[in-house]
Amino acid sequence: MSRVTRLGGRTLEVFAILLAWASFGQATSNAQTFALSDTQALVLLNVKADAVEYKGRKAVRLTNDTQKDGFALLRGTDFQDGTIEGDIALKITTPPGVRMPGFVGIAFRARPDASRYELFYLRPRNSRSDDQAMRNHSVQYTSEPDFGWYKLRQKWPWVYEAYANLQTDSAGGRMKVEGLADGRWTATRVDPFVGKWKLNPFKSKLTDRMKVESLGANRYALDFGGGVETVVADGTDQSGNSGTTVSITVEGPDTWKVVRKKGGRTLLTGIWKLSRDGKTLSDTFRANQPDGSTLSLDYVYERTSAGSGFAGTWESTSEKVNSVFEFQIQPYQGDGLSFITPAEHETQNMRFDGKDYPDAGPDVSPGSASSGRRVNERTLEMTDTIKGKVMDTRQIKLSTDLKTLTMTVHPVGQSKPNMLVFDRE
């Protein structure tokens, strides 16, 4: 069986880029992977193919300037039921308003001459239409030549086509086709952000700022960015922000133990040590996650304002991440996304419409919410609030190969951002 990439016909001009990667998974055999870095493995029908570099990646460019359907058949495939994944970038060069300007998709169960095949294809401009009915025609399944789109739509409306969040004239979409042994087929356009991500501590830069003010009589005002908390340094649990308690235990003239709890459970412990000259402070930070794991970080802070002892304003200059930190991104309600931190049992669900969506999790501060917007196919902007007060803004950006995610966090009142770099797992 052959797998082909199809360029929709009835088009004046269209070109597509097959990025250098494609994988075919069988239910009963090992996956096949094809580099697509040149045109040697392709059999071309009504298209022209060129080996090119696209946004830093090796790729194959297909162009079609005829009224006929175009195909690039991939030699050496053995596929019947399973999964097909591939990266495709599409640019439609016909002007807006032209009917059927050009589509792109993945065909499978195809004859060598492409006289018969099954196909999932995308209509990118439909996805951005003002007409909801048009948006519902974004993704289409057909079985050619007996069951074309029109026949399927007339006999089984809305069964073989659906809405998907597609970006027009841009790169990065990943299409996944899953086939089942009973003959039912499903297709989804996978959002490029979706996946499992693991923090790369060597490429990340965490900057933390905190303020300690002496109020006399062994009382201190602590500000970690979420509001001032007043604590007596006597080792007892005292009321803190967001339903937590805070305690400070003086373990020596240059050592404090700071503990935060919620509902009697220890959330985090910090062992603070002052340097002899009082200019730096080290923090051995341990956070107990709801799943039983421990997040371990070692900070070094530098004094940035006058003060004696622990009192003063401190900004971190170095950090060491000693634990694995992972999170997941999953689809949410059409074009939205869910940001899930399994260790913390925390979830942020949002659609990118500028509205606030509440955060969920056992240790989430009451009134926490997030909003966001899509800047482009590979960039998101988000704002985090607590009870309507902005706490930070974030930019989340994917690399051109979709393998690296960089999250730049700007906490309010902090001059330097946090830069978290994640690798796709």
State mean pLDDT over 390-401.
90
Choose among 258, 260, 261, 262: nearest CA to 299: 258
pLDDT tens for residues 130-162?
Answer: 777 777 788 888 888 999 888 988 888 877 887
Residue 27 clears pLDDT 60, i.e. is over it: no
Report which of residues 128 and 373 the model is more confident about. 373
Q: What is the largest CA-CA distance in the chain?
A: 87
Tokens 């950006």, located at residue: 397
User: What's the pTM value of the predicted model, to 2 decimals?
Assistant: 0.58
Choose among 359, 323, 375, 382: nearest CA to 204: 323
Percentage, residues of the chain above pLDDT 70: 84
Contact 117, 107 (CB under 8 A): yes
Among the ranges given (67-71, 114-118, 233-237, 244-248), the one the predictor scored with the smallest mean pLDDT? 67-71
Give the chain's mean pLDDT: 81
* pLDDT value of residue 228: 93
Question: Can you list the alpha helix ranges (DSSP code H) found in 92-208?
Answer: 124-127, 132-135, 149-155
DSSP letter (8 states) at residue 136: T
* pLDDT value of residue 9: 34
Work out the pLDDT band at 30, boundaries 50, 70, 90: low
Residue 249 clears pLDDT 90, i.e. is over it: yes
Buried b (16+ CB within 10 A) or exposed e, 397-412: bbeeebebbbbebebe
* pLDDT value of residue 279: 94
pLDDT tens for residues 189-206?
Answer: 567 888 899 999 889 888
Query: What gap in Å lies between CA 369 and CA 364, rounded to an integer?
Result: 10
State mean pLDDT over 288-306.
88
Report which of residues 415 and 80 the model is more confident about. 415
Report which of residues 344 and 180 the model is more confident about. 344
Percentage, residues of the chain above pLDDT 90: 31
* pLDDT value of residue 8: 39
